[in-house]
Amino acid sequence: MSADTAQRLRSGGDDQRPRHVAIIMDGNGRWATDRGWPRLVGHRRGAERVKQIVRACPELGVNWLTVYAFSTENWKRSTEEVLGLMKIFRRYIEREAEGLSAQGVRLRFIGGRERLDPKLQELMALIEGRTAGNSLLNLTVAINYGGRDELARAAARLAQKVARGEIADPGQDDLEACLDTAGHPDPDLVIRTSGETRTSNFLPWQAAYAEYEFTPTLWPDFTPQHLAEILDRFGLRERRFGGV
């Protein structure tokens, strides 16, 4: 990023800075295929990018970062690709645990866990516990996440609370408290890489009033500089939230 951008963002000169950025990290497969390489090579490069973007966030004034790593629909891919992705997640957690803790990152996961390998689930719970006291950056990784699945699971939890007599007349706040993202602020900005202009089941409830940025850059090519430029543009947007 330019020294100007970094300085301005650090100094808090913007009227509005996105506190919570969510990213649909798309285009790993095409990045690899364009080079004649297996798709998994693109996923590995993509994981490297995550590390770099995570390190850049605090300097850019981003306090919450949520990334879409694997959707409930991604199980449709070949066994080789799915298993390869699961291995990448596992390695990411194993290798990054110490570094993330030291960087002041609090790592959390959203999505249904029961379909994941028990060993991976165990690692996820461990690192969540280990980083629970951190607050410099709240990093949330969506694995086996789908907004519709999350809402269905939340509705079931809410129904249980009603059946137990804990809530009489459930409203929006009660449903929100049953989402995987309970307690997280809503994303201010959702970025999707790779040129696709769809949301693919990512945070449908939480991003109801988010601003969207679609960039043609493929995820393995997305640098902190790209992020800084998008954040600059965000500062120029007028958000009305239904007002005038």
Please give the residue ranges that form the binding site for ligand IPE (CB under 6 A): 24-30, 68-71, 74, 85, 194, 196, 198, 200
| Residue with Cβ nearer ligand IPE (6 or 82) | 82
231 touches, from Mg ion, ligand IPE, none (C-beta below 5 to 8 Å by class) = none
Q: Is the CB of residue 158 less than 8 Å from the CB of residue 175?
A: yes
Tokens read off for 198: 């769809």
| 200-229 residues labelled b (16+ CB within 10 A) or e (exposed) | ebbbeebbeebbebebeebbbbbebebbbb
Choosing among Mg ion, ligand IPE, none, which partner's interface includes residue 134 (Cβ < 5 to 8 Å by kind)?
none
| Residue 218 within binding range of Mg ion, rule CB under 5 A | no
DSSP for residue 152? H
Q: How far is CA 5 from CA 137, 141, 212, 235, in A?
A: 19, 27, 21, 12
Q: Is 90 annotated as a binding residue?
A: no
Distance CA 163, CA 185 (A): 28
Q: Is 43 annotated as a binding residue?
A: yes
- Does the annotation count 201 as an active-site position? no
Nearer to Mg ion, 5 or 194 (CB): 194
- 26 part of the active site: yes
Residue from 18, 21, 26, 71 that binds Mg ion (CB under 5 A)? 26
Task: Number of residues interacting with Mg ion: please give it, by CB under 5 A.
Answer: 1
**Which residue, 20 or 43, is less far from ligand IPE as judged by CB?**
43
Of Mg ion, ligand IPE, none, which one sits near residue 200, judging by CB under 5 to 8 A according to partner kind?
ligand IPE
Catalytic residue among 63, 74, 186, 221: 74
Token couple for 229: 């430029």
**104 contacts: CB under 8 Å, gap ≥ 6:** 58, 134, 135, 136, 137
Q: To the nearest whole angstrom, how small is the minimum distance from the Cβ of residue 48 to ligand IPE?
A: 13
3-state secondary structure of 23: strand
Q: Decide whether 26 or 150 has the Cβ nearer to Mg ion.
A: 26
Asked if residue 73 belongs to a known ligand binding site, the reply is: yes
Residue ranges of the alpha helices (H) in 131-220?
147-163, 172-176
The DSSP output letter for 59 is: G
Residue numbers in the known binding site for Mg(2+) are: 26, 211
**What amino acid positions are annotated as catalytic residues?**
26, 74
Residue numbers in the known binding site for substrate are: 27-31, 39, 43, 71-73, 75, 77, 192, 198-200
Q: Which residues bind Mg ion (CB under 5 A)?
A: 26
